[in-house]
Chains A and B, each alone.
Chain A
Amino acid sequence: MKYLAQDPTLANFGHDVWWLVLIKVVAVFALLLVLTLFTIMYERKVVARMAVRPGPNQVGPNGWLQSLMDGMKLPFKEEIIPITADKVVYFLAPVIAGTCAFITFAVIPFGPMVSIFGHRTPLQLTDVPVAVLVILAATSMSVYGIVLSGWASGSTYPLLGGLRSSAQMISYEVAMGLSIVAVFMTAGTMSTSGIVHAQAGGAQANWDIFGWHPQAPSWYAIVTLPSFVIYAISAVGETNRAPFDLPEAESELVGGYLTEYSSFKFAMFYLAEYIAMINVSAVGATLFLGGWRVPWPLSLIDHGVLNHSWFGLIWFLGKVLIFLFGFIWLRATLPRLRYDQFMRLGWKVLLPANLVWILILAGIKTTQRTPTGNTRWFVIAGVVVVALIAVFLWPEKKGPEAPSTEQLEEQLAQLPEGSFPLPPLDLQVPPSPRLQRLTGQREPATVGGGTDEKEN
């Protein structure tokens, strides 16, 4: 076969005729809409199955048209805009959220070179040398939609949700960006098609285990396993999904940043949220799971015939669905984290672990590049010294100091006029009721006659 799984290179992009570009744009747009509708149903069905109940089963075959009906109904609902809202920004926020969500898929590769109406073209909208940076930039822009919606609603709970969400997304974006650095270092490129190509496998078998020469695994999920784990965790945090769904924690914040939104604007946020989930799944599949390439045992069939042209779409969508299933599984299984636990995980666990891993990877790369000489021994000696220092100087744990009531009152009094009534930022956990019961402590009783005002 002549065109067997021809990898597109950067030179293949930017030569499409205008109608081909138009077809690709419309196809990506439609695919995202359909995938969103599907994901909502997928989530509801899987969660229902895990909770041993039927789930939605009324509209369409087995209930699979439920989300389509919901989506068609939403724009016709009444639109309520709060009087206190900042109108311009209130309108702008859903637009930003929706727009940024769609950008990522412009640089996601769906497959190798294919033939569309006689034109040979990559199965990807476009690619640039710094494609992954474009993805990260689009993700970081989408924070605006949430922050501004929370602020512009002119109401307390949305503001709290917006604040939580911006802190959360910025924190986990850092961890996410750093986890991708290991992929850059291994692949030697930032273009998405280039990264998929680098995971193609078939590299020189450089191991020798008693005459057996196994090929090194080619997926970056295995080669850079710590990065993959960190990416998966920070992807959940980045998309505000359970167990990290603090920005819209229903039991604490009513509904978070989109409490005051209704009708079509609410639909935009809902769409953006699910597309963000699909985005991180697609990026994860591309960067860590080999993109559109067929998984290992199947890739042996007939020298990789299953990588040929349109087959890529199947494997890509399959990997995305597996990722999405992971998200849904987490939501059905885990309870929500407390906010301080969540921030501690991001800044004190994921970030240092990531930095140490990048250092180790850089050391490995350096020793591989110069197999002779003293570099290898320098690197090993450095690792040993750093590990010893870390073991000896590891700080001991100390309990947090509780702020006194006066401090909290002072903190509240310092807020300027016209501020939102923020709760005091103490982050103290109240003692558990069960412990109080066990130790015999009781709340002071509030019953008693004579203190109530008389009714006239």
Chain B
Amino acid sequence: MTAADVLLLALGAIAVGAGWRVVITSHLVRAGLWLVVTLGAVAGAYLVLAAELVAWVQVLLYVGAVVVLLLFAVMLTRAPIGASSDLDRPGWTGLLVGGGAALGLGALLLDGYRWQKVDAPAVGSAQLLGGEVFRHWVLPFEVLSVLLLAALIGAIVVSRPAPGDDSGSR
């Protein structure tokens, strides 16, 4: 085992452990903070794999923007200090969905590669990644961006009251 393997395992353990804490903690804001730890550990794993661009974009977008927005929304609606008792749902559905997805993906990956060695292309530099995304994968990229745009407009439409509708709740 090389040092990179040990680091990867440690970061994976941190990510899984913090993810576990996200689910079981009954403090709303602390769950968000554990999510930060999880995403940060995943970014660290990218960094160990020499994918600098992906790692820093992960920190910039997920840690720095998405979770902050999440915390922002929590604080805007309610931000109780201390444990909340009404957060729990029956656990078996979550276990079924999450465990099923993990098992299925794991089986798919194992079956797809069967411990064979794959030659990694080159390190994930920004230039290489940009070339790949905008040459070979430009259609999925554009479709994804249009999807996000549609979701954005949909969110605005849903959250705004219809024009002339004064009686509706805001």
Binding site for B on A (CB under 8 A): 84-86, 88-89, 128-130, 133-134, 136-137, 139-141, 143-144, 147-148, 150-152, 154, 159, 162-163, 166-167, 170, 173, 190, 403-404, 407, 410-411, 414-416, 418-420, 422
**A130 engages B33 (CB within 8 Å):** no
Contacts of B57 in A (CB 8 A): 133
Whole-angstrom distance between the alpha carbons of A152 and B33 in the complex?
A: 12
Whether the Cβ atoms of B65 and A154 lie closer than 8 Å is no
In-complex Cβ contact of B52 among A129, A150, A162, A415 (8 A): A129
By beta carbon, the residue of chain A nearest B52 is A130
Q: Given A89-B29, A137-B64, A163-B72, do A151 and B52 touch, yes or no (CB 8 Å)?
A: no
Expressed in whole angstroms, the Cα–Cα distance for A418 and B85 within the complex equals: 13
Residue of B nearest to A140 (CB): B64
- CB pair A89–B33 under 8 Å, yes or no, is yes
A-B interface, 8 closest residue pairs, ranked by CB to CB distance from nearest: A140-B64, A133-B56, A137-B59, A137-B60, A419-B78, A86-B81, A166-B72, A154-B81
> What string of 1s and 0s marks CB contacts (under 8 Å) between B65-80 and chain A?
1001101100111111
Chain B residues touching A, majority SS: helix
- Contact B59–A170 (Cβ < 8 Å): no
Which residue of A86, A141, A167, A410 contacts B72 across the interface (Cβ within 8 Å)?
Answer: A167
For B52, list chain A residues within 8 Å (CB): 128-130
Report the separation of the CA atoms of residues A420 and B79 in the bound assembly, to the nearest whole angstrom: 8
* Interchain CA distance A141-B63 in the complex, whole Å: 7
Of the residues B78, B125, B170, contact of A403 by C-beta under 8 Å: B170
Q: Is the CB of A133 within 8 A of B60?
A: yes
For the complex, is B36 an interface residue (Cβ under 8 Å from A)? Answer: yes
Inter-chain contacts of A418 with B (CB < 8 A)? 78, 80
Q: How far is the CB of B157 from chain A (nearest CB, A)?
A: 17
Which residues from B are CB-within-8-Å of A422? Answer: 76
Does chain A have a CB within 8 A of B53?
Answer: yes
Contacts of A151 in B (CB 8 A): 29, 71, 75, 79, 81
Interface residue B21 (Cβ < 8 Å from any Cβ of A): no
Task: Please give, as numbers and ranges, the residues of chain A lying within 8 Å of B30 by CB-CB distance.
Answer: 88-89
Of B57, B63, B79, B80, most buried by chain A (CB within 10 Å of CB) is: B79
Report the separation of the CA atoms of residues A416 and B28 in the bound assembly, to the nearest whole angstrom. 14
**A141 lies within 8 A of B59 (CB):** yes
A432 to chain B: closest CB distance in Å?
A: 26
How many residues does chain B have at the interface if contact means C-beta atoms less than 8 Å apart?
Answer: 31
Would you call B166 and A137 a contact (CB within 8 A)?
Answer: no
Contacts A137-B60, A159-B75, A420-B79 aside, 8 further interface pairs with beta carbons under 8 A come to A136-B56, A136-B64, A144-B68, A163-B75, A163-B76, A166-B71, A415-B78, A419-B77
Report chain B residues within 8 Å CB of A128: 52
- CB neighbours of B169 from chain A (8 A): 407, 410-411, 414
B68 and A159 contacting across the interface, CB-CB below 8 Å: no
Rounded to whole angstroms, the CA-CA distance of A173 and B69 in the bound complex is 13
| 5 A/B residue pairs, CB under 8 Å, sorted by A | A136-B64, A173-B64, A190-B126, A410-B169, A411-B170
B142 → A minimal CB distance (Å): 16
Contacting pair A144 B36 (CB below 8 A): yes
CB distance A143 to B75 under 8 Å?
A: no
- Chain A residue nearest to B40 in the complex (CB): A141
Judge whether B60 and A130 touch: CB under 8 Å: no
Q: How far is the CA of A141 from the CA of B33 in the complex (A)?
A: 12
A144 partner residues in chain B, CB cutoff 8 A: 36, 68
CA distance A159 to B76 in the complex (A): 9
Cα A84 to Cα B80 in complex, Å, equals: 11
Known A134-B56, A141-B63; contact A170-B125, beta-carbon cutoff 8 A: no
Residues of B within 8 A of A154 (CB): 81
